[in-house]
Amino acid sequence: MGNYKKYVLPGDAACPGCPIPIGLKVVSSATDGKAILVIPACCTSVVVGSAPKSSLNMPVVHVPFASAASVASGIREALLKRNKEDMSVIVWAGDGGTADIGMASLSGAAERNSDIIYIMYDNEAYMNTGIQRSSSTPEGAWTTTTPILGKTEQKKDVAKIMMSHNVPYVATASIAYPHDFYNKLTRALKIKGFRFIQLHSPCPVGWRFDASLTVDVAKAAVETGMWILYEYRDGKLEFSNPSKYLIEHNGFKPIEDYLKLQGRFSIIGRERIKELYAERDRNIEWFKKLL
């Protein structure tokens, strides 16, 4: 990877173990800093801070929750008018600003095939405002707005929704596999039109695990099939190597290995765990039909 140290500076406001600086290091490396980041209200707004004391040495536009994809589309059009095609425009947004509040503008940008990259760092709840459930929170997970039973609904699959928009590029990634994320972002940068990457990003505070285990938890999600790594390009899907091997060899670890690492699943019942197994298997069979 490139020299991220020029762009992601020490001394940010991230919690210990936060996955956001890991992801931003990959983004700055892949782009070599030649990108304007559009960041809606989310943890990252706080983590990087605002000028003149930002910890991110790249152009950043902080915008309201719902507008990120629209603002990014406008910035990109302005750059094209000024013949500055070498500067990419990247939305860096959480799951709340993507799956919920920002869904309308996201869908609009995808439908217009706006020439931007949208990265959803998915920490599966509204962490910045107090760990409230989002539509991207997985079934059975505790949040401060689902304290008794955990979330009773399934996780909204935003990447699949983007695939249904027939955009040029959709991918999933994980902060446990930074080189895979880097390679996907590098490929996305070479494509014109709307590109979407959903980055699985475990949050120690909201998911209730020790801050030293962020990468271990992210890796466990892939190893148990709770997070599948793939690319979808020009109507064709390809599993990424870590998930491809596990799917081909039926080598997934028990889902319980992932759940037990996190306090947010301490109230989950046996029946709901069975549902997670069924959901995982249905998900994989759905993807196999696109191979």
- How does pLDDT run across 71-126, given as a tens digit for each residue? 999 999 999 999 999 999 999 999 999 999 999 999 999 999 999 999 999 999 99
DSSP run (H or E) holding 221:
helix 214-223
Contact 97, 40 (CB under 8 A): yes
195-200 β-sheet, strand order: 60-63, 35-40, 88-94, 117-122, 195-200, 169-174, 230-233, 236-239
pLDDT at 237: 96
pLDDT at 235: 86
Q: Does pLDDT of 232 surpass 90?
A: yes
pLDDT at 218: 98
pLDDT at 252: 98
Span 2-30, average pLDDT: 93
Contact 36, 68 (CB under 8 A): no
- How does pLDDT run across 162-205, given as a tens digit for each residue? 999 999 999 999 999 999 999 999 999 999 999 999 999 999 99
pLDDT at 112: 98
User: 0.95 cut: is pTM over it?
Assistant: yes
Peptide bond before residue 64 is cis, with ω within 30 degrees of 0: no
Contact 27, 35 (CB under 8 A): yes
- The residue type found at 160 is K
Lowest mean pLDDT among 53-57, 103-107, 279-283: 53-57
Tokens matching residue 257: 């290995």
The β-bridge partners of 126 are: 132
